[in-house]
Amino acid sequence: MAAYLGGPEPGDLIEIFRPAYQHWALYLGDGYIINVAPIDEGSTSAFASAASVFSRKARVRMQLLKDVVGNDTYRVNNKYDDIYPPLPVKDIIRRAQRLIGQEVSYDVLGSNCEHFVTSLRYGKAVSGQADTAVTAMAVTTVAAGVVTLLSFLRSRTRERQY
């Protein structure tokens, strides 16, 4: 995973560490980022980005990085650079600027803030957070199915014994 020391450069992915998850933004330059935020929230706080988890729509916003980060921490994390070549910076910024103010679909697993910024940087929407969540749900579902099946088989075995 590539994480960089120093200040962000235009086109960099910014990973913001919220208490229960990471929020993602793309650095535009001059202290500004672009990110998705819930439509019904004007706030730039952690609460606003947490609210987007429960929303099906989001608005693309250009905001000051320091306002979006608030009291949380962040780092530059262009973590997919070894897998997907970044687009030229001028193209990343141009694509991002065209989206400012637009309403977009939002889905934690299929179209979240990390998907949004990786699509701008790489031309491909990817999200490690979403992949981890899907894997965890699949493992939980399989485990629950195995427990249910074993319970069923055990109860049938007991019925036959009597």
Q: Which residues are catalytic?
A: 23, 113
Find out whether 57 and 108 touch, Cβ atoms under 8 Å: no
Helix axes 113-122, 128-161, angle to 10 degrees: 130
DSSP 67: H
Residues 6+ apart with CB under 8 A from 59: 36, 37, 38, 39, 101, 102, 103, 104
